[in-house]
Amino acid sequence: MREPSLFYIPLSRRRLLQSLALVSAGFLTRNAFAEMLAQTPHTTAGPFYPDHLPLDQDNDLIHITNDITPAVGTVTNLSGTLVDPSGAPVKNALIELWQADNFGSYIHSRGAQGGQRDSHFQGYGKFETGKTGEWVFRTIKPALYTGRTRHFHFGITLPGMQRRFTTQLFFAGEPANTRDMVLRAIRDDAQRASVIREFKEDGDTKQLAATWDIVMSLTPGAYDHDDDHDHFDGPPPPRGEGFPGGPGPVPRDPL
């Protein structure tokens, strides 16, 4: 029987040390580091991408323009960075968020659970990344609705791309996670773990906060296989001023 070596280092650890050695030697390129970032997995857009977008589409979903009443629910702050697999920030990308309100209802015309909807909740927002790749949303904790665990929906439209990439963000410790079909369908352990985040509560304000870095390949055609025919995915909304290609509807690949 082989004597355990005091100097045994697990393979994953050895690879990390090798990478660190390369870093210190100045030999590491971004591609060598890329193996360490799990690409954010694609998940279905689901049936509730808004069939009518709200007039207010900013990244504060709690307040609708000219409405002094805020949305009902636990204030939740989401932020992160959009990066490519090498860890480089991705600028000029459109990040969209849509989700259930405190009743479990979407702003989609067929998305009201129990006939109740919070009319003060924006339901949808968007944010365009700058040179740091960072994005931020202020919203509420989505309520549960029939058949799903708690989740947010995200859409990412990379600069120069016509297709919206869709994914979902989940809450660590949510009991229904283990039986959620969307979450279970993510077969790669690292990718599945990458979309489940801890939501920390601020002791004073009772607000929740989570950070999530979205990792996307910029390789042309990388997401061609993510061609969902089983849901309405809608066209990306008009891009804002300063977005490459200027304002106006963006043509899409046929679904």
**How many residues form the binding site for Fe ion (CB under 5 A)?**
1
25-33, 46-54, 211-219, 223-231 -> range binding Fe ion (CB under 5 A)? 46-54
Q: Are 174 and 182 contacting, i.e. CB atoms less than 8 angstroms apart?
A: no
Give 32 or 182: the residue with its C-beta nearer to Fe ion: 182
CA distances from 32 to 19, 26, 131 (A): 8, 12, 23
Helix (H) or strand (E) holding 189: helix 189-194
Which among 217, 109, 208 is positioned nearest to 163, based on CA atoms?
217
Pick from 41, 46, 73, 155 the residue near Fe ion by CB under 5 A. Answer: 46
The alpha helices in 26-88, defined as continuous H runs, are 30-33
Residue whose C-beta lies closest to Fe ion = 46
Q: Report in angstroms how near the CB of residue 148 gets to Fe ion at its nearest.
A: 6
Least spacing, CB of residue 183 vs Fe ion, in Å? 12
Locate 155 and state its tokens.
Answer: 């859409």
Nearer to Fe ion, 92 or 167 (CB): 167
Residue closer to Fe ion (CB basis): 78 or 90: 78
What does each C-alpha distance from 198 to 50, 112, 194, 251, 255 come to in angstroms?
27, 27, 11, 36, 34
* Smallest separation (angstroms) from Fe ion to the CB of 234: 14
Nearest distance, CB of residue 16 and Fe ion, angstroms: 36
- Residue nearer to Fe ion on the CB measure, 49 or 90: 49
In whole angstroms, the minimum distance from the beta carbon of 41 to Fe ion comes to 16
- Rounded Cα–Cα distance for residues 213 and 227 (Å): 23
Q: According to the binding rule CB under 5 A, does residue 133 interact with Fe ion? A: no
Alpha-carbon gap, residue 141 to 45, rounded angstroms: 19
Closer CB to Fe ion, residue 46 or residue 237?
A: 46
| Site residues, Fe ion (CB under 5 A) | 46
